[in-house]
Amino acid sequence: MFSSKANAIFQDVIAKYHEINTVDQPFTNKYDEKSNLLEHLLYRKCWIDTVQWHYEDIIRDPQIDPVAALTLKRQIDASNQDRTDMVEYIDSYFLEKYNDVNAKSDATINTESPAWGVDRLSILALKVYHMEEEATRKDASDSHRAACQKKLDILLEQRVDLSTAIDTLLDDISKGDKYMKVYKQMKMYNDDELNPVLRGQK
């Protein structure tokens, strides 16, 4: 199943990041883009999400220097754009894969594309990892660990449900019961022509 592969890759990425556990560490994709394109995209996608997760932790430090915070905000903006781009690359992969499938006359469209489901699955992997850390943290109180364990149980159940939904969607697309229609995000705030603040500075 696709989701089993994706979840394994996401867990691998998160473990790899935490070996050094710093946002400015170098990135190396263990999968070759030409021979393992899907794995390459999934690995890169989760790395972006993992770094951004830790950006978000850092910027919430109440003692952060304002200049450093602004720099970090720019990094988060860039990361968000990378994240969106990767979702579109993954959807392009699926569009190509199912290009020859003829949708049935009664085929329906899903509320989100496969890759946006993958996006949620990647973030969920990070939630599971960090909630498990909290549920087993030695210096935390028993009540804290117990509360986090309850949340972890829910996250694990959610991962099963989301994984099943993604696999079902891909199976339905492969059989022509559903069809893909991907809309580019068309973000406006990064565009010099569409953001009035940026346009006014040209």
Condensed to tens digits (0 to 9), the pLDDT of residues 96-153 reads: 999 999 999 999 999 999 999 999 999 999 999 999 999 999 999 999 999 999 999 9
Quick check: 189 pLDDT over 70?
Answer: no
Closest listed residue to residue 87, CA positions, set 30, 37, 27, 44: 44
When pLDDT is averaged across residues 164-189 and rounded to a whole number, the result is: 88
When pLDDT is averaged across residues 154-161 and rounded to a whole number, the result is: 98
The pLDDT assigned to 182 comes to 80
**Can you give the pTM of this predicted structure?**
0.91
The pLDDT assigned to 90 comes to 97
The pLDDT assigned to 198 comes to 65
Quick check: 95 pLDDT over 70?
Answer: yes
Quick check: 201 pLDDT over 90?
Answer: no
The pLDDT assigned to 68 comes to 95
Query: pLDDT-derived band of residue 186, with 50, 70 and 90 as boundaries?
Result: low
Secondary structure string (H, E, C) spanning the chain: CHHHHHHHHHHHHHHHHHHHCCCCCCCCCCCCCCCCHHHHHHHHHHHHHHHHHHHHHHHCCCCCCHHHHHHHHHHHHHHHHHHHHHHHHHHHHHHHHCCCCCCCCCCEECCCCHHHHHHHHHHHHHHHHHHHHHHCCCCCCHHHHHHHHHHHHHHHHHHHHHHHHHHHHHHHHHHCCEECCCCCCCCCCCCCCCCHHHHCCC
Give 30-65 pLDDT, tens digit per residue. Answer: 999 999 999 999 999 999 999 999 999 999 999 999
Residue 14: exposure state from Cβ atoms within 10 A (0-12, 13-18, ≥19): buried
